[in-house]
Structure 1
């Protein structure tokens, strides 16, 4: 899809709002440049400790095939990059889940992994309200179907109401990008704002806003 300068200028206000709210970088890209792959949620099934435990994640959200159809109804997307204060230990981050969850992990590495996730989760909680503000700003500007997707699984509740089948924070909870199949690494690279992985100093979590 070729950029229409007039249309991207149309959304400059929302990009500037992202910077005002603390974003490290923000760019408008065509919705068709968002890379959706069926294999992405497979990582949720095979590598995520919260799989099936949150209503904003698989298997309770649109499949990649369903999301592709939804994405096709949007023109543009705002990609938003943040900076996490979590500090990366290169030796730990490459096996972060092992050191975090394995009770037999060396104590020093386990403590570093736990501290990393504590700091990362603390910072990532601040991403949701920012993205909700961006969604609201777009909505109030007339883009009533604007919708935010966030980085990482929902942390609004200690335990999600999966058994009850209904979210208790429906106006606030948002789906993670990867849950619906978005390959954020490829999408960010295509947009010219690549994600360094494995991260070296501080993680750079990303979120996106679908704009009608």
Structure 2
């Protein structure tokens, strides 16, 4: 197996991520992160959080802006988590419909509701984990280390969008897809492919830009 030339430098972050519960983790060149203009369009067309949270579009850097930011970083930590929620193959294909549509079949609605309950309860530690990795990298001499998380922010019941100021700036982090990162392609490129469509327990990815 070819040895990863950048891993030894940041082996402490790989070890820390595993210690915190990551399923898989790898240091990759920042240039290997795939950014596409079409990704935030899915936020606008298919996400119930669009425009409702300050760490989601349209309040975050555009893909073009993020490409410029990304060019100033050399490495990133790619972290994989496993959700404790188990996806029914039929329900997961229309998860929002079964969850939110009042006319959805009762059994499907119950399955969708249980899925999100298990998912949110079980993945609540993932964002704090990425913040801990950010802190660890910062304290090791990487002043511009910055975490990106999977999924929208859950810190407030209602985001302070009207005032335009996040009330938890030290804890809130942007989801990578919000700035255009194609995590499926990025993970595949790194040799850490994500199962998609989702089967069984969803595989979630997050990024830590290092320096």
With normalisation by structure 2, the TM-score equals: 0.97
Please show how residues 137-176 of structure 1 align to structure 2 within 5 Å: 137-176=136-175
* Whole-Å separation in 1 of the counterparts to 2:192 and 2:55: 26
- Gaps spanning 5+ residues in structure 2: where? none
Deviation readout 1:72-117 (Å, 9 max, x if unpaired): 0000110000111101111111111111111111000000001101
- Gaps spanning 5+ residues in structure 1: where? none
* Whole-Å separation in 2 of the counterparts to 1:147 and 1:63: 17
**2:49 alignment counterpart:** 50
* Whole-Å separation in 1 of the counterparts to 2:71 and 2:184: 20
- What SS is found at the alignment partner of 1:205? strand
**2:122 alignment counterpart:** 123
CA RMSD, Structure 1 to Structure 2 (Å): 1.3
Confirm or deny: 8 A CA contact 1:41 1:181 kept in the other structure.
yes
* Whole-Å separation in 1 of the counterparts to 2:3 and 2:81: 26
**2:59 alignment counterpart:** 60
Q: Count residues with an aligned counterpart.
A: 210
- What SS is found at the alignment partner of 2:83? coil
Question: Displacement, 1:125?
Answer: 1.7
- What SS is found at the alignment partner of 2:160? coil
* Whole-Å separation in 2 of the counterparts to 1:108 and 1:24: 32
Question: Displacement, 1:4?
Answer: 9.6
* Whole-Å separation in 1 of the counterparts to 2:147 and 2:118: 23
With normalisation by structure 1, the TM-score equals: 0.96
Question: Displacement, 1:6?
Answer: 5.5
**2:197 alignment counterpart:** 198
* Whole-Å separation in 1 of the counterparts to 2:39 and 2:96: 18
Deviation readout 1:2-23 (Å, 9 max, x if unpaired): x995543111110110000000
1:26 paired to 2:25:
yes
